[in-house]
Structure 1
Amino acid sequence: MPESVAPSQPVTAGRPIVFYDGGCPLCRREIGHYQRLDSAGAVDWRDIHADATPLADWGITWDRAMQRMHAISAEGQIRSGSWAFVLVWRHLPYYRWLGGTLHRLPPIVWLMDRVYNVIARFRWRSRCDSGVCRPGR
């Protein structure tokens, strides 16, 4: 389920923020696809591999962010995993209908999140658990 807003969160300027691992080839490819669709600049894309410092503003540790994709809604709510994808999709052309539909179907997103957890755990173990993907500072 979506995480709540911490009391001292910075404002997101009306657009969601997405934290992603720009050092991961799979992540780069998927986020690159979304960025190409985001010609209106509806999402604030943040590569935490290049600069992990913005995570601290939201109380998200680097390890947590590397294990699951995190996004911040325009209202300041933290989302992770499949909930983060649904948030992103609601702001992108071609995916907007899917994000809007799934947003109203939490049990489906919960099931998607179970699958996402398996993929995310595999990615973490194969790439990050060894310390290979430490972020730039």
Structure 2
Amino acid sequence: MTENRATRDHAERVTVYYDGDCPLCRAEIGHYQRCRGADDVAFVDVSRPDADPGPDLPREAAMARFHVREADGRLVSGAAGFATLWSVLPGWRPLARIARLPGVRALLELAYRGFLPVRPHLARMVGRLGRARE
């Protein structure tokens, strides 16, 4: 399990589950990990064999879709997961507030679902770009 060190107890933090085998996902999570407030987030790479997202989140589901466990233990995914993550990162809180407006979360979820089929192609492109820079 990979996670940021934080001053708060793990049980009080948001936990982000991400596919570390996906170059696109790694790049995005890397960005969030560098944001102010990221020390209050546990980042779990579910592609690692020792990762344990919990009994309510099968590893395959965690790798196929963005999931976040809220501080109270509730599991959310997709647009709701991003909104939860954004709410704990000070620089992203304005977007979290917008996501709470009536109808906005539903639109964000539609956009996310539209993105999911394209994700593997984008991940391959990002992976190629990363290898070309090496």
Return the TM-score normalized by structure 1: 0.73
Query: More helix by proportion, 1 or 2?
Result: 2
- Give me the whole-angstrom Cα distance separating, in 2, the residues matched to 1:89 and 1:77: 16
One of 93, 111, 118 as aligned partner of 2:114: 118
- Give me the whole-angstrom Cα distance separating, in 2, the residues matched to 1:14 and 1:33: 22
Runs (5+) with no aligned partner, structure 2? 1-8, 124-134
* Displacement of 1:37: 0.5
Please provide the CA RMSD for this pair: 2.3
Q: What SS does structure 1 have at the residue aligned with 2:44?
A: strand
Comparing 62-71 and 28-37, the one that deviates more: 62-71
Maintained 8 Å contact 2:45/2:51: no
Runs (5+) with no aligned partner, structure 1? 1-10, 128-137
Q: What SS does structure 2 have at the residue aligned with 1:90?
A: helix
**Paired residues, number:** 115
Residues 1-137 of structure 1: pairs in structure 2 closer than 5 A: 13-38=11-36, 41-51=39-49, 53-55=51-53, 57-102=54-99, 104-123=100-119
Moved over 4 A (4+): 124-127
Cα–Cα, structure 1 residues 12 and 79, in superposed 2: closer, same or farther, change >3 Å? farther
Letter of the aligned partner of 1:114 in structure 2?
L
- Give me the whole-angstrom Cα distance separating, in 2, the residues matched to 1:83 and 1:39: 19
Maintained 8 Å contact 1:68/1:81: yes
* Displacement of 1:93: 2.3
Identical pairs, percent: 36
